[in-house]
Amino acid sequence: MPLLQAASSRSKTTAATLLVALALAVGGCSGSDSSSPAAAAAPSNTGDGGAQAVDSQVFLGKVAGTIKKKNWKEFMEHHQKPLLAQVGQAVDSWIDGGYVGVDYPRDSFGSAFDAFTEPAKRDADRQKQLMTNWELRNEIDGIEVKKRTITVDVMAPRGRPAGATARVDLVFTTTGDKQERVTVHGRLFLSPGHGKWHIFGYDVSKGAT
Amino acid sequence: MTEVKHRSIRRRLLRGARLATLGLVLGAVTLALPDSSPKSTEFALVKIQQANAAAIDQHVISILAVGSDARPGQNFTRTRGDALQLVTINTETHAASIIGVPRDSWVPIPGHGMDKINASLYYGGPQLLGQTVGNLIGVQPKYVFVTRFQYFQQMVNSIGGITIRNPSAFSDDPLKLKGFRAGRIHLSGYDAMAYSRIRHSLPRGDFDRSAHQEIVLKGIQAKVHANADRAGFIERGVINAMSRMSTNLPPGELFKLAQVMAQVDPTKVRACVVQGGIGVSSGGASIVVPYVSQARAMGDQVRKDGTLTHCA
């Protein structure tokens, strides 16, 4: 189990990971408005930051808009893989930048909201106690990830993604003066633009024991 | 020993690209509607072009929700709007307000002189109706959402009905003979339609009816909010709504609107109805002469942060 500890570099590991595509065995099926979750697995990327992050597992959740076979095919063949990659990357940039991909102790979480729209970034920054590991930043020296999954529900009219909800489950423990088990759970809302997916809203809760 | 710290603060936020939101009614629409076919266009969502969009704080989005009295076969965006509710959402605080306007309000309609406010839908479609209501309240809606009552019924049924708190018992001969008892009650789609339309048996007629419409809207929004975290719920709802919608909005904006609506905290929704005097027009029609200063005072509150602290 990798131990994420503060390392020298502060640059973030964008553990944008995607385990692409294995098994969406549903490929040729006639398409349902809600596909059952299927795991996507991808090569992990390696960040150049100090902390060595555990990559998220990214899953495809419910897909709406693909009830016709041709739309399902359009989605699966042309959009599913890049969608999961890009949404995973956006969400991972928050998870890494805000919690588990940075060095501790630290003073700020400057890159946590890089994938957020400007208004969402301002709001998230105001709620940094919730949206980052702010309260523990000076009391821990490392993090161990226990669980890190992203499940992506997609709105894809005619098979073309136009909106997505990323359901996030993150569990990690901390080392140092404060040894806690932290759970971050919630949803991020994303829309596409300029070749990327952007987080325009969220509904997140955090707890620690 | 385990110390449990719980910071369960639920924060959501949306606001993306200041685009807007649809309101409580769209919420109903974005629900899991049955995916039957063939589908007819049952509602319209129109984004209003505004020259003064900067007048409203970027966190605040207003949508005019309109119930059309169109009969089957009629163009429901060119009939009379029977229910008029201006819904404003603060995307930062997830609070909202609803301002109801009696349909018989006698107001100036741009380009058409004085008339009942609901006639502006007939004269100029959603854009003109939005402008007319906006002129009365002092808040121009960014979106106008129009649906016919029949479809409204389907929408409510599709979410399994709603639960409301009815302030006073009432009944109506043709629409609901058994009536509605006071207190916490469940409404089916038909009940919600009847609850929103009954007027003659209410002590304050159109004003009470408008208040009832607001209660129903709040019930719909609460139901949507409660289901929003179900996997694929919003996505499926928007897709189904699109198949029945006439709109000038792209799918991505609809998705954002739906998420904004779903994030509104039901405990932070306050509703008021513009009051007025009863009169008769020069043509002999029964009209409501709205208290414009009161309407403007509500608008002043809403412009600040989207909320109403009092009904003025």
Whole-number pLDDT of residue B41: 67
Residues of chain B with Cβ-Cβ distance to A165 below 8 Å are 232, 234-235, 259
Helix (H) / strand (E) element for A188: namely strand A181-193
Whole-number pLDDT of residue A67: 85
Cβ–Cβ gap A200/B239 under 8 Å:
no
Read off the pLDDT band of A142 (50, 70, 90).
Answer: very high
Question: Which of B3, B5, B7, B12 is most worth mutating to test chain A (most A CB atoms within 10 A of its CB)?
Answer: B12
Both tokens of A50, joined, read: 């100090």
Query: Which residues of A lie closer than 8 Å to B, measured between beta carbons?
Result: 33-34, 61-65, 67, 117, 119-120, 123-124, 127, 129-131, 151, 153-155, 157, 162-165, 167, 180, 186-187, 189, 191-192, 198, 200-209
Q: In angstroms, rounded to a whole number, what is the distance separating the alpha carbons of residues B253 and B251?
A: 5
Whole-number pLDDT of residue B40: 60
The β-bridge partners of B276 are B290
pTM score? 0.80
Cβ–Cβ gap A201/B263 under 8 Å:
yes
Whole-number pLDDT of residue B159: 87
Q: How far is CA A8 from the centre of its chain?
A: 24
Q: Quote the DSSP letter at residue A55.
A: P
Q: In angstroms, rounded to a whole number, what is the distance separating the alpha carbons of residues B108 and B155?
A: 33
Q: In angstroms, rounded to a whole number, what is the distance separating the alpha carbons of residues A181 and A207?
A: 8
pLDDT at A117 over 90: yes
Q: In angstroms, rounded to a whole number, what is the distance separating the alpha carbons of residues B176 and B117?
A: 27
With a CB cutoff of 8 Å and minimum separation 6, the contacts of A138 are A105, A106, A107
| Intervals of chain B under pLDDT 50 | 1-38, 51-57
Whole-number pLDDT of residue B249: 86
Helix (H) / strand (E) element for B132: namely helix B119-137
Residues of chain B with Cβ-Cβ distance to A207 below 8 Å are 4-8
Question: Which of A191, A194, A198, A209 is most worth mutating to test chain B (most B CB atoms within 10 A of its CB)?
Answer: A191
Residues of chain A with Cβ-Cβ distance to B13 below 8 Å are 119-120, 123-124, 201-202
Q: What are the structural domain ranges in chain A?
A: 10-208
Task: Report CA torsion sign: A56, A60, A65, A71.
Answer: positive
Cβ–Cβ gap B5/A124 under 8 Å:
no
The Cβ-side half-sphere exposure at A6, using a 13 Å CA radius, reads 14
Alpha-carbon distance B234 to nearest alpha carbon in chain A (angstroms)? 8
Both tokens of B204, joined, read: 């304050």
φ, ψ for residue A164, nearest 5 deg: -150, 150
Search chain A and give the residue with CA nearest B240: A65
Search chain B and give the residue with CA nearest A153: B232
Q: In angstroms, rounded to a whole number, what is the distance separating the alpha carbons of residues A16 and B63?
A: 38
Both tokens of B241, joined, read: 């709504």
Residue B139 near residue B299, CB atoms below 8 Å: yes
Both tokens of A172, joined, read: 């990690």
Smallest Cβ distance to B236: which of A62, A123, A189?
A62
Whole-number pLDDT of residue B299: 96
Read off the pLDDT band of A77 (50, 70, 90).
Answer: very high
Residue B62 near residue B302, CB atoms below 8 Å: yes
Q: In angstroms, rounded to a whole number, what is the distance separating the alpha carbons of residues B66 and B80?
A: 9
Amino acid identity of residue B116, one-letter, is K
Residue A51 near residue A103, CB atoms below 8 Å: yes
Instruction: Give the number of A-B residue pairs with CB atoms closer than 8 Å.
Output: 142
Give the residue, B36 or A85, on which the prediction is more confident.
A85
Q: Is the complex ipTM more than 0.85?
A: no
Give the residue, A42 or B279, on which the prediction is more confident.
B279
φ, ψ for residue B305, nearest 5 deg: -145, 15
- Pick the range with the lowest mean pLDDT from A94-108, A178-192, B19-33, B274-288: B19-33
With a CB cutoff of 8 Å and minimum separation 6, the contacts of B201 are B170, B171, B172, B173
Q: How many CB atoms lie within 10 A of CB A140?
A: 22
